[in-house]
Amino acid sequence: LVIGLAAAAYRAIGRRIQHDRYLLVLTLLSVGCLGLLMTHNNPYYWIFLMPFIALLGGGLIAMLGGVSSRMNLAQAAAVLLLIALLVSFTLTAVTEQNSDELIALGYTLDDLLPPEIDTVAAWQIYFYGLYPRVMISTENFYMAPVDEWQGVKLPQAVIVTQGLDDTYEALLAYVQAEDMQPAYCFPLRDPIYGKPSTVTVYLPPEYLPEESANTCGAAAAG
């Protein structure tokens, strides 16, 4: 993405065409909005910039190839867009961290969580399934202690993904301090970095489901 943005900037400056500059400005504004408006760090958001890179990158190829007609420029942009979509699909399906599976699980978890829980701590990718709620990335527990957070509502539920954030001591300490218990457990189909993984949802006692609905079992609860 960084290389794509750099190439796009070179193309826009080199061609000195007004609409190229407008597109570059829109791209930079989008980058700025992602950095300023999102309350947590999420590299997956950068996928939203792929259309800009495809359009600007297509123009770059047309410029380097000596193509100047608008039709060929549009075709080049379309080819770059298809490549961008293919790359994004590949990135979200890697076996080290299958984003597609985690996003789908996020929607499932959103259906299971009580409506009273409006703030959840989870790994970044679950945002797409939990978007109706306020989601705090569990990486925040790694970057700063909870008592140093300012202006952030503490999570009422915590989702721990084995192999991603289950080693964050501050996160596990918060779960213990809030007396949260395992409510739902979901073994993942694809391993995380080559190892089997389970996603565990921790809830306060007042929000725990009936024993028959608890998918973690007696061993996990203990």
171, 138 contact by CB (below 8 A): yes
Q: Which one has a higher pLDDT value, 218 or 142?
A: 142
Helices (H), 96-193: 99-112, 127-130, 139-143, 169-177
- pLDDT over threshold 70, residue 3: no
d(CA 99, CA 129): 11
- pLDDT over threshold 50, residue 222: no
* Predicted confidence (pLDDT) per residue in 166-185, tens digit: 999 999 999 999 999 999 99
Min mean pLDDT across 85-99, 107-121, 150-164 is at 85-99
Q: What is the pLDDT of residue 29?
A: 80
Which of 185, 187, 188, 181 shows the shortest CA–CA distance to 157?
A: 181
Q: Which residues, in sequence order, are bridge partners of residue 184?
A: 201
Q: Which one has a higher pLDDT value, 163 or 78?
A: 163
Residue 192 — very low, low, confident or very high, per pLDDT cuts 50/70/90? confident
